[in-house]
Amino acid sequence: MSHYQLPRATPESQGVSSLELAKFVDALDTELAELHSVMVVRHGHVVAEGWWRPYEADLPHLLYSLTKSFTSTAVGLAEAQGLLSLDDKVVSYFPGLAPARPSRHLAALKVRHLLTMCSGRLTDSIVQAVTDRTGNWVKGFFAQPWLQAPGEPFSYDSGASHLLGVIVEKVAQTDLQTYLRPLLFDPLGIQVTSWETDPQGHRTGGFGLSLKTEDIAKFGQLYLQKGNWQGRQLIPAGWVEKATSKQVENDRFAPNSNADWRQGYGYQFWQGGHGSYRADGAFGQFCIVVPGSDLVVAITAALNDTQKALDRMWHLLPSLSEQPLPADLARNKALTIQMGGLTLPLPAGEPRSQQEPALSARKFRLEANTLGVRDVWVEFEENRLVLTMIDKHGTHRLEAGRALWRESFSDLFPKAELFYPKAPVANARVRAAFLWTGPQTLVITARLIETPFAYTLTLGFEEGRLHLDGQVNVTLGAPATWPRLVGVGRKR
């Protein structure tokens, strides 16, 4: 596999002002709750890139629904190879899982309806699909009623995206990641280390792919170049044109939402303002392509209001020049320093407390709670602490650095999605730090560094008792806060 990187260039050489880029990044930093990375590509050259510490360039990031655009690409490649047609009836791929006598609406469902989110269902099927009693997401998809004929209106449906991936796996006789490796990932120099699977072993077509920020930018640049990469036509240009063009109206989708989600929808790509299109995942995972400006912007984040990031993008566009700008070494150096100094702050507090020796010798037995946690204790060392919890799933540990990020692997935290079981995430890569916000109040910030999620654990110690509160920064329907845990200390 090639380890190709996008070429780097000064902003001015590509018609971009270092000053305007600095303003753009400063606005992202100050106006948005939590950015993890940004990469700006103009004329095929990276002109600005930065990661908010503790996030880093070499770490993959969970993309959520940005995954859908990769699944769409797999469909386009399979069509080009003659493995499927967009007019194929969906039920024909699933004998034994689809109803033997489908309703007339389901019988009319085609692959293209899945691609354009016009399946005839009016709600997202993924929640019901993943909770199928047999653990078969495809069976769960078909178990739901079809109330309308396929075709418009548009209705966002991650279950439809998952089904697209399963169809590609069936016709290609391999899993989605393996199928895309020689056709897409290897030529782009993308190494995929994580793509979730359903209980049947199918790659999750609607979410679950993790990639680095530059990988996202490469994908956008490939589409900007109409599927051509270093002289090779990786994706048919005709597919790129159709996938990134408005195939259906979606102006009735989320009518109270902002304009960039009501500009139309292609084949698992959103249309956007200023002639743009994008691959788009929850909490601000963006691959934004603006063909008229020859611009690609990749963003990873943990945002509840993702429209703000797009608004900032549009403010940058008027400053772009078709011609190179005069060199501005001073501002270019200032931009480089700014991008290298991005960081997510820790809570204000003290690195030490006189309580630490006594607390290290105690274990807290908790009152009955809905999380099923029985015991909690904290051990303090010179430069770190170790938090241990025992619940119905077993013993879980978390390491945190003293006012500094420390990396470990932990299964302490549950998935923050309503449609998943509440079991902890196994061996999540975590970077965590702790501070004392008061003499008896310990705050641990734990970032699941390859995902959007960050947990804040607040432990209060008073008169031999513990109260522990937990909160996650963003969530897909699951509660953002834990029920308070209360316990009484005893010697360990």
Which tens digit of pLDDT belongs to each residue from 10-54? 999 999 999 999 999 999 999 998 999 999 999 999 999 999 999
Q: Is residue 106 part of a domain?
A: no
Query: Which of 291, 308, 340 is the C-terminal boundary of a domain?
Result: 340
Decide: 266 and 252 in contact? Cβ < 8 Å.
no
Q: Is residue 372 part of a domain?
A: yes
183: DSSP letter: I
Q: Where are the beta strands (DSSP E) in 272-321?
A: 277-281, 285-290, 295-301
| Max intra-chain CA distance, the chain | 72
Residues 336 and 382 in one domain: no
Residues 361 and 466 in one domain: yes
Using 50, 70 and 90 to split pLDDT, how confident is the model at 130? confident
Q: Is residue 459 part of a domain?
A: yes
Q: Return d(Cα 216, Cα 159) in angstroms, integer.
A: 23
Number of domains the chain contains:
2
pTM score: 0.96
Instruction: For residue 179, give Cα distances in angstroms to 80, 168, 218.
Output: 14, 9, 19
Residues 216 and 330 in one domain: yes
pLDDT digits (tens, 9 = 90+) for 142-151: 988 888 999 9
Mean pLDDT of 124-139: 88
Q: Is residue 460 part of a domain?
A: yes
Residue 310: predicted pLDDT: 93
Q: Where are the beta strands (DSSP E) in 108-244?
A: 194-195, 209-211, 228-229, 232-233
Q: Which two tokens stand for residue 423?
A: 């079991």
Residue 355: predicted pLDDT: 93
Mean pLDDT of 195-211: 96
Residues 302 and 269 in one domain: yes
Does position 121 have pLDDT exceeding 90, yes or no? no
Q: Return d(Cα 27, Cα 18) in angstroms, integer.
A: 14
pLDDT digits (tens, 9 = 90+) for 76-89: 999 999 999 999 99
Residues 452 and 484 in one domain: yes
Residues 335 and 368 in one domain: no
The domain spanning residue 235 has which CATH number?
3.40.710.10
Residues 487 and 363 in one domain: yes
The domain spanning residue 424 has which CATH number?
2.40.128.20
Q: Residues 173-182, buried b or exposed e (16+ Cβ, 10 A)?
A: eebbbebbbe
Q: Work out the percent of the chain whose per-residue pLDDT is above 70.
A: 97
Residue 131: predicted pLDDT: 81
Q: What percent helix, strand, coil does the chain show, rounded to 5?
A: 30, 30, 45
Residues 367 and 331 in one domain: no
Does position 194 have pLDDT exceeding 70, yes or no? yes
Q: Return d(Cα 154, Cα 145) in angstroms, integer.
A: 17
Residues of the domain holding 310: 12-59+212-340
Residues 290 and 387 in one domain: no
Q: Work out the percent of the chain whose per-residue pLDDT is above 90.
A: 85
Q: If we measure between CA atoms, which residue out of 99, 159, 154, 97 comes closest to residue 128?
A: 159
Residue 199: predicted pLDDT: 93
Q: Is residue 252 part of a domain?
A: yes
Does position 271 have pLDDT exceeding 70, yes or no? yes
* Residues in Cβ contact with 406 at an 8 Å cutoff, skipping those fewer than 6 apart: 383, 384, 399, 400, 431, 432, 433
Does position 415 have pLDDT exceeding 80, yes or no? no
* Residues in Cβ contact with 236 at an 8 Å cutoff, skipping those fewer than 6 apart: 76, 80, 227
Does position 252 have pLDDT exceeding 90, yes or no? no
Q: Which single residue is written with the structure tokens 């029920």? A: 483
pLDDT digits (tens, 9 = 90+) for 460-488: 999 999 999 999 999 988 889 999 999 99
Residue 258: predicted pLDDT: 67
Residue 254: predicted pLDDT: 61
Residue 253: predicted pLDDT: 66
Residue 447: predicted pLDDT: 97
Q: If we measure between CA atoms, which residue out of 313, 289, 317, 286 comes closest to residue 302?
A: 286
Q: Is residue 168 part of a domain?
A: no
Q: Residues 22-25: contacts with CB within 8 Å, 24+ apart?
A: 22/331, 22/334, 22/335, 22/338, 24/312, 24/313, 24/315, 24/316, 25/50, 25/335, 25/338, 25/339, 25/342
Query: Which of 340, 375, 396 is the C-terminal boundary of a domain?
Result: 340
Query: Which of 340, 375, 408 is the C-terminal boundary of a domain?
Result: 340
Residue 133: predicted pLDDT: 85
Q: Is residue 156 part of a domain?
A: no
Residues 371 and 272 in one domain: no
Q: Return d(Cα 2, Cα 20) in angstroms, integer.
A: 33
Collapsing DSSP to helix, strand or coil, 115 comes out as helix
Using 50, 70 and 90 to split pLDDT, how confident is the model at 123? confident
- Sign, Cα dihedral of 404, 405, 407, 409: positive
Q: Where are the beta strands (DSSP E) in 2-107?
A: 35-42, 45-51, 61-62
H helix count then E strand count, the chain: 14, 21
pLDDT digits (tens, 9 = 90+) for 317-352: 999 999 999 999 999 999 999 999 999 999 999 999
Decide: 163 and 122 in contact? Cβ < 8 Å.
no
Does position 422 have pLDDT exceeding 70, yes or no? no
Q: Return d(Cα 339, Cα 52) in angstroms, integer.
A: 9
Residue 1: predicted pLDDT: 54
Residues 294 and 388 in one domain: no
Q: Is residue 21 part of a domain?
A: yes
Residues 370 and 333 in one domain: no
